[in-house]
Amino acid sequence: VQMKMGKVTETVEVTSTAPILQTETTQVSNIIDSATNDRLPLATRNYVQLTLLAPGSVSPDPANFNNGDNTANGARPYINGNREQANNFILDGMDNNQVSDNLLGYTPAPDAIQEFNLITQNASAEFGNFQGGIISTSIKSGTNSFHGDLWEYFRNDNLNSNSWENRFGGAPRNPLRWNMFGGTIGGPVVKNKLFFFFDYQGQRFDHPASTSFINVFTDAERQGNFGDICTSGFDGSGICNDRVPAANFTGPCASGAPGPNCLVTHQLYDPLHGNTAFANNIITDPIDGVAQALFSSPLYPAATGNGRESNASYTKTQAFDTNQYDIKIDFNVTTKDHIFGRYSHAKQHNPTINSLALLGTGFSDAPINNEVVDWTHTFSSTLLNDARVGVNYVKLHNGTAFANSIGNLAEQLGIANGNHGGPGLLFLGFNGGTPSNPGGGILTGMGSSGVTQRFNDAVIQLSDAVVLTRGRHVFHTGFEAWRYRLNSFYSGNSGSLGGILYGGAFTSENPVSPGPGGNGYGGADFYLGLPNAYGEGITCCVWGHRSTTWAGYIQDDWRLKTNLTVNLGVRYEAFAPWVEKDDRQVNFDLFTGEVLAPNCSKVNLGTAPTTCRKGSRGLYNGVYGGKAFQPRIGFAWTPSALSGKTVVRGAFSISSYLEGTGTNLRLPINPPFTAAETLVQYKGVALPATNSEGGLAPVGAASDPFAGSLVRVWDPNVQPALTDQWNLTIQQQLSNSSTLQVGYVGQHGTHLMVPMPYLQRQLLPNSACATPPCTAPSVYFSGNPTFQSDISQISGTASVGSMRYNALQAVFQKRFSQGLDYQVAYTFSKCMTDNSGYYGTWSSTQGAPASPYFQNLYDPRADWAECYFDAKHILSSYAVYEIPFGRSKRFGHNINKAVDAVAGGWSINPIISLHTGFPLALYDSGSAPNDVNSRGQRPNCGTGSGRVFGRKNAFDPVSGAYIGYQWFDNTPYTATGAEQFGNCPAQGPIRGPGYANVDLSLQKNFTISERFRLQFRTDFLNAFNRVNLNMSDDGSTTTCCGGTMGLIKVSQDPRNIQFALKLYY
């Protein structure tokens, strides 16, 4: 056999078909060839969906695999208990990742893919910078004959079912127009010498105007009557009869039950007149001018009916339009030299237009280039060298803009400085929180904070690999280097426009120290013009981050005996710190509060109460030396006593991964080089210092660039995550075409990246002060208390998180024979972590991730809980089945051509996906603000917590209308009081709905000639129209302690049908 070198992501292979029983490798992987990839029913033809077919792979956000080629919001898999951002995408051996936010870069068309390989664990030493999976894809090449295909895919809402929520809400089907079209062609330029391959794909994934329901102030609420928030009515004194158990009482509490075991909830109090109760929740104080202006504005929707839920609507139009192409040239320079070059380009344009002008218009554009040149030189039959150089460029520009007709609406409503960041309406949130992290609840916020991203990321890659065979040894050695260039602008999570938030603290019984009863209401605070927080993000400018990663490796695949192969490898991977190209970034000493800068002469501190100290260019330590070494060890043993049909494999490896960490926490957006992102919060006060009309009041002295600012701090010991991976598997060959593999897979990850709320106060024992509860300032920046009080928040970055994953994984595979190819994968697993990650799926549709910030900074271990993407049982399967009827088939092989044209040439190809539900994170609504400044506040779990009703019908308490399912009992959960941490776990104790879905492709092939074949296919996505439930996108399902806690009112996509016509030649 002749050895050949393909791409760096391949092991040495022989030209014959690989054996079904892999006796020489210990890595856990899943390979899908081009034929299978082409035949499976992929929604929007997104090849990344194939990753969910591997054991250990799952997603709490399957809907985002269906949104077309959308780099900014595309879903990625969670593999073996790792975060979705911990994967490494590779295309023809070239990096294919968007660096700063860990996104997938270029998405090739399925028809252009030669092979898809997902390595889920114990990769050889050739691979690095991953924790989850290595998703390696290769583009087709031309051959000595011309070949290719043409296609048109079509989907229309007229073919689809209506969603569950639309049906009970009386809404029509969501409009949809989807077309995907293109073609491939490959062939010779000079036979046996020079070959080309080209493909183009266009997508027009348009969502015409569809109706979305929102919750606005009712007519009564606009007049000051908030009686509808009390569900049990009022007693003779006008006090709400709703009750919740006190902290030490197990309940339950009946309507109107007396204290002290049962506490009044959903009651409003008058903050302007001694916090006396508003009888029947009717506010008698004058309405605030901003609230009155908003309610009077023709732009604010009128409420329909008397209910609080879905009492207004608007239409939304979306488009995901893409044009992309690949061109690949292969050149056999000599019999020993092969060179290929590939250039890939895509341009994505994804606008969102809302009929409700107060929400603004979304935009998202992404031009992407990925290019690589590879030269393979064969020195001899035992020695190969492969050199590669390439560039991966991803540009993302997205945000929200307002129509010109809106003008400076915020200031027109009476909000001072409301249009400092530009025209439109800054975000008005009625459920507490902050501009960067609004709370969830009933009322839909209005306006937009104007979060804007302009990312220009480039990766320059250089690598060389050598393969040497000596007797029983196959050595792989080489080096890789990546140069990262980021030119970015990010407004910060508070947005260029900013926001004003209203949480209900000031209409509670005691705004200074709110109790756990859950009184007060954000909508009532807005009516009175009493915000709990306001702030504004960054309006300029572009900054440049640079970094380099180097790696070298050597691995020996040693056939120790004819039935025993040992893999011995080691990888060295070093990470240089991120530096700003012009040294325009600062860090801070965590204890003294001193500014750290590469060049203090460039730092203008103004009157800020701090000093500058020179630091390194990166302002944190790089990763070099001994801790950069990563062993890769494994064995594959074929016991002779079992006839060579059984392989036992075991492996242990260490891999490292440095997350992109987003842009919001990066050091260049610190003052003074960037105008400060400001935040003001009112906690522990009877009334806020400003009202709605005060708007975005300036914070501190103009000469102090840090006054009221949110500063970013990186721990000096930030390092890549390290993951220990191990497995022990047994693979049994059952026939010439089938195998069964069962194994134990484990992982332990440390140094995971975690955002740190460094300004959180300490909660002390009650004995520490005269009047408990007792708090003390943060230990961070404590060496300079004046500077500590000068800033508003510290968002830190530290690699202090950890995870653990254990799983039983089983795979049954049947290779294509007798017209049938299929795989069934099953996983029984448990994943635990102390942090969900800052850069995870916050659009998660089926899960509800915990806050990325520890609830108690000083007790992070208290957050150790199930991962939010932990599904106990996962089953996935696919099949390609050519129905054995027709000419050249097992049955009907002698039928005439006319019958064959109708009855022959059919195939059926399903994808089956099943998994149990994910643990849900419960949030404290913030109606009782916590003076320790926790950014991950959880409620208290009482007796009966964790009780799940499942699909229990729920009805609006006012109108009686059906509004969804009450998934779990919300009565055991109570809000915490001031200076208290909730005792609910970071994830759980509730698990959400499971998932069951079948996608089915029915295909008919028409043979035109020996070289031409026409295929008509119908893909049924969610073929059986199962209602797979989602968490509410407003956060109300898991937010304590409102009446909609536990209510599920939305679902995944209903059945969609798409037609396609393809011509193969």
Q: Closest Cα to residue 1046, out of 1061, 1065, 1032?
A: 1032
Phi and psi at residue 254, to the nearest 5°: -80, 165
Where does 351-491 show beta strands of DSSP type E? Answer: 352-354, 361-380, 383-401, 427-429, 433-434, 437-438, 453-470, 473-490
DSSP letter at 833 equals: E
d(CA 939, CA 973): 6
d(CA 981, CA 1027): 36
Give the per-residue pLDDT at 13: 32
Q: CA dihedral in degrees (35, 41, 44, 45; nearest 10)? A: -10
Cα 368 vs. chain centroid, distance in angstroms? 20
d(CA 520, CA 750): 42
Question: Residue 760 half-sphere exposure, CB side, CA atoms within 13 Å?
Answer: 25
Give the per-residue pLDDT at 539: 87
Q: Specify the 3-state DSSP secondary structure of 173.
A: coil
- Please tell me whether the peptide bond between 989 and the residue prior to it is cis, using omega within 30 degrees of 0: yes
177-187 pLDDT tens trace: 999 999 999 99
Q: What are the residues whose beta carbons fall under 8 Å from the beta carbon of 19, sequence distance 6 or more?
A: none
d(CA 188, CA 633): 43
d(CA 937, CA 494): 19
State which amino acid sits at residue 25.
T
Residue 463 class from Cβ within 10 Å (0-12 exposed, 13-18 middle, 19+ buried)? Answer: buried
What residues pair up with 6 in beta bridges, in sequence order? Answer: none
Q: Closest Cα to residue 69, out of 237, 254, 205, 173?
A: 205
Phi and psi at residue 788, to the nearest 5°: -60, -40
d(CA 26, CA 522): 57
Residue 389 class from Cβ within 10 Å (0-12 exposed, 13-18 middle, 19+ buried)? Answer: middle
**The three-state (H, E, C) secondary structure of 965-1015, written as one string:** EECECCCCEECCCCCCCCCCCCCCCCECCCEEEEEEEEEEEEECCCCCEEE
- Please tell me whether the peptide bond between 867 and the residue prior to it is cis, using omega within 30 degrees of 0: no
The residue assigned the tokens 């060179």 is: 339
What residues pair up with 151 in beta bridges, in sequence order? Answer: 182, 1062
Longest dimension (CA), the chain: 97
459-498 pLDDT tens trace: 999 999 999 999 999 999 999 999 999 999 999 989 999 9
d(CA 142, CA 185): 8
Predicted TM-score of the model (pTM): 0.89
Rg (CA), the chain: 30
The alpha helices in 516-619, defined as continuous H runs, are 522-528
Low-confidence stretches of the chain (pLDDT < 70) are 1-19, 68-69, 516, 839-845, 925-930, 978
d(CA 259, CA 243): 9
DSSP state letters, 737-783: TEEEEEEEEEEEEEEEEEEEETTPPEEEPGGGSSSSSEEE--STTTT
Buried b (16+ CB within 10 A) or exposed e, 321-359: bbbbbbbbbbbeeeeeebbbbbbbbbebebbbbbebbbb
Give the per-residue pLDDT at 326: 98
User: Are the CB atoms for 503 and 928 separated by under 8 Å?
Assistant: no
Phi/psi class of residue 591: alpha, beta or left (left: φ > 0; alpha: ψ in -120 to 50)?
A: alpha
Buried b (16+ CB within 10 A) or exposed e, 401-436: bbeeebebbbbebbbbbbbbbbbbbbbbbbbbbbbb
What residues pair up with 152 in beta bridges, in sequence order? Answer: 181, 1061
